[in-house]
A and B are shown apart, each in its own frame.
Chain A
């Protein structure tokens, strides 16, 4: 039987469904007056450690809620529990297929448990991954990348999408500079090659260096 071919124009973005949910999240954040940060990095770069400092320094001044994203465990949420600030843990392997990143749907699932009207800032601590999180909007205002100097100088060139999507790069573990063959100037040149002039702050979660500057960046943009 002869079957003719029918052509149909579609023009639908592959991530449109995610982006629509990100927009729905955005509207919820706007309604509650939240400034939302999507915090991304490789595993172990220091996101949670920096957040511990952040919550400590801003206690009583800025109300920060945290949405923790991990494949498994509540370890990160547990670490931050002592600050008595709203925290929710989303595990991507609990009904989301064990994804290596947070998407708008997963973030949305966590929002129901956060008192958005009682916080000024929401930090979404994404799954440790230098590749995929950058692809998925979740409704954030800004993307903050944490990069540790133990990762070498060339990663911006190897993972351009992540570095290009950052609004701020926290260059972490600088207390280790005397012990590593790390060329900071080369790293910053590579960073500028993929994201010219992107804001950057040198930090150390171990010593607290740069944390005040980072907290100021956050509170200024939150309008608090």
Chain B
């Protein structure tokens, strides 16, 4: 629903870090536990990037699966669905170790700067 706002932030972050260079690829990590619809984000990204140094850049979206460390038995489990449960003891008291990411990991840019 707010993929447009998120796309806006991604473009801002990429443009700032590009520092005048043209961006060709943006690597974004999105955890499964975030409420982001990948196709909506890609669509929004293409839209928002127009007219910026990020225009026509490829959005490489890496979905990060959810995982958690059980506070009862210490097992780390892959968490596919709710309830988020330890695969070993069935415990529900988990520390989420993966799946809540939403960050720009890196960029690929052209060497030549498009503006000084």
Asked whether any CB of chain B lies closer than 8 Å to the CB of A84, the reply is: no
Residues of A within 8 A of B17 (CB): 8, 10, 12
Are A131 and B1 within 8 A (Cβ)? yes
Partner of B9, one of A1, A14, A161: A14
Residues of B within 8 A of A135 (CB): 2, 34-35
Task: Decide: A193 near B110, CB < 8 A? Known: A6-B21, A13-B103, A99-B5.
Answer: no
Asked whether any CB of chain A lies closer than 8 Å to the CB of B51, the reply is: no
Residues of B within 8 A of A132 (CB): 1-2, 35
- Look across to chain A and name the residue whose beta carbon is closest to the beta carbon of B104: A10
Report how many residues on chain B are interfacial, defined by Cβ distance under 8 Å: 33
CB contact list, B1-37 vs A, under 8 A: 1-2, 5-6, 9-10, 12-14, 17-18, 21, 24, 28, 33-35
Are B106 and A9 within 8 A (Cβ)? yes
Report how many residues on chain A are interfacial, defined by Cβ distance under 8 Å: 30
Are A8 and B35 within 8 A (Cβ)? no
* Closest chain A CB from B84 CB (angstroms): 8
* Closest chain A CB from B80 CB (angstroms): 13
Are A7 and B82 within 8 A (Cβ)? no
CB contact list, A1-44 vs B, under 8 A: 1, 3-15, 17
* Closest chain A CB from B2 CB (angstroms): 5
Are B111 and A14 within 8 A (Cβ)? no
Task: Decide: A194 near B105, CB < 8 A? Known: A6-B111, A132-B2, A161-B35.
Answer: no
Q: Could you pull out 11 A-B pairs where Cβ atoms are within 8 angstroms?
A: A1-B112, A4-B111, A5-B24, A12-B104, A17-B9, A17-B12, A100-B1, A160-B82, A161-B35, A194-B83, A196-B93
- Known interface pairs A6-B109, A8-B17, A17-B12; 19 further A-B residue pairs with C-beta atoms within 8 A, sorted by A's residue number: A4-B110, A5-B110, A6-B21, A9-B105, A9-B106, A10-B13, A12-B13, A14-B9, A14-B13, A100-B1, A131-B1, A132-B35, A135-B2, A160-B33, A160-B82, A161-B35, A194-B82, A194-B83, A196-B83
> Which residues of B does A touch, CB under 8 Å?
1-2, 5-6, 9-10, 12-14, 17-18, 21, 24, 28, 33-35, 82-84, 92-93, 102-112
